[in-house]
Amino acid sequence: MLKNVQQELNRFAKYVITQSKANLTRGKKNSSKALYNSLDYDLKVSPNSFSMSFLMEDYGVFQDKGVSGIKKKYNTPYSYTNKMPPPSKMDKWIVRKGLKGVRGKDGKFISRKSLQFMIARSIYNNGIKPSLFFTKPFKKAFTNLDKDIIKAYQLDVEELLKFTTNGNN
């Protein structure tokens, strides 16, 4: 019954997802493609209501909103307090980025475990800067959503009235 409303909500969600993916790529936050590939939405429309939810990897919220470190603060609800991110989680990222350890005082490269620890400690101290890869397109599209939904609903009501009056003639 709410065909036009459903189309408008689909258009809204597709725009948000497309722009979010583009922002991840532009912001160079797309090394594993896991977050990029997880971006999706779920729309349920019934005769009396609708619900929409956006889906992404759990860590996507932290990439979007950021995380305050113990030394550097951001305007975000998330922060590191007494626990550092696990250094072992940095390994695949280090490999994908092609990072090599720096040379120590003895001229040898530091071990990968040391590099993992140094990156984790840096994230703990400095946090993760908010990228707003999802928030910006969502807010931009949401500003016009109410007007677009009203127009779509109006079209749905007009179609219903035409169908009802034509059916009774």
Determine the pLDDT at residue 120.
94
Is residue 104 pLDDT above 80, yes or no? no
Determine the pLDDT at residue 164.
65
Determine the pLDDT at residue 99.
83
What's the chain's average pLDDT?
87
Picking from 19, 127, 133, the residue whose alpha carbon sits closest to that of residue 66 is 127
Q: Is the pTM of this model over 0.95?
A: no
Determine the pLDDT at residue 105.
80
Domain parsing of the chain, residue ranges: 1-65+130-169, 67-127
Determine the pLDDT at residue 147.
78
Q: Please, which pLDDT band fits residue 68 given cuts at 50, 70 and 90?
A: very high
Residue 32: partners with Cβ closer than 8 Å, 6 or more residues away: 92, 93, 96
Quick: pLDDT tens for 75-93. Answer: 999 999 889 999 998 988 8
